[in-house]
Structure 1
Amino acid sequence: MKLVFASNNLHKIEEIQNLLSSSIQILSLKDIGCFDEIPETANTIEGNAILKANYVTEKYGYDCFADDSGLEIEYLNRAPGVLSARFAGEQKNDQDNIDKVLRELEGVQNRNARFKTVIALNIKNEQYLFTGIITGNITTSQKGSQGFGYDPIFQPNNYKMTFAQMNQQEKSAISHRGLAVKQLMHFLTT
């Protein structure tokens, strides 16, 4: 089976391909000749996943899935949430985003947070949603060099390491994206 993943983020593509069965081949947007900047104008994580999946299915005619993820910090009223990639500005810079979170939480005791991923799958003219959530807290400094995004400052509950201190296999076993992809995989193989 071939499925388009509505992303050109090589980190995400690799992470998801590693989680899926070898019988499912992931095609990127580049693979199907899509170089458009797909609008992410919804005000929810679910909404953006649906927008991206629908864009590819409607414009290119492929069965497709898209994800959107966000870091939701309790003290910041669930921000950055849907704006996670652009929290510190339109340049979408991971380090700038991390720095802004750490500044906003300076001296704050409540560092509870969660990562949420929603996958929208368009297949055979039907749409399905899969959600993965992992809870944890925001560390006071960056730790680790693996992963991407907010991984160096997110420590899952019951773990002594941030996502950035875990190898890909450890992270994928418990991560928000890993949990959503497992649901997707179960759906596709049953």
Structure 2
Amino acid sequence: MGDLIEEWAARVAEAELSRALPRRWAHTQGVANRAVEVGQVLGQDAGLLVAAATLHDVGYAPRLAVTGFHPLDGARFLRDEHGADDRLVRMVANHSFALLEGEERGLREELASEFPLLEDPLLVCALVYCDMTTTPDGGRTTAEERVAEILGRYGDDSVVGRFIRRAAPEIFAAVGRVEAALAAQPR
């Protein structure tokens, strides 16, 4: 994987998000920019990370929102309409601890059976890092500020609020792993 999949991912995400959801598109572009920066710790999987970062929220596109659970809707779209790479589809389906949100929505088993988790902890953590250190407008933030922003936007007692409170320790741990990997890179 490399430049071709990254270019394809950018075309697909832009087509689905830029007009319909411009703020979500701005977030997506910021997440993809983080992925380019983080790619150095992933070697041959750097392009896969950038593609997954670019497509992670495609399931929010109004025409794709079948279940209303964007990781599942986005992964199904990529698999069914584009025949996308299995690892890419599984990353989109499981980004940022989606299984926990799936549990809140009664969709955990459906998500887990269709799109099993990848067994590459650093790659999975890298996508969490990119998503959770990017604001809704595409700027940089800390994971703590991002979790607080999500809680403020959705409310503590919403499905997303309950999910993000449960996922916060895992999010912070994943971000810490990536920050440690980045710090260990030769300069």
When Rg is computed on C-alpha atoms for both structures, the one with the higher figure is 1
Greater RCO (CA < 8 Å, at least 6 residues apart) = 2
Structure with the higher strand share, 1 or 2: 1
Q: TM-score, normalised by structure 1?
A: 0.32
TM-score (norm: length of structure 2): 0.32
| Larger relative helix fraction | 2
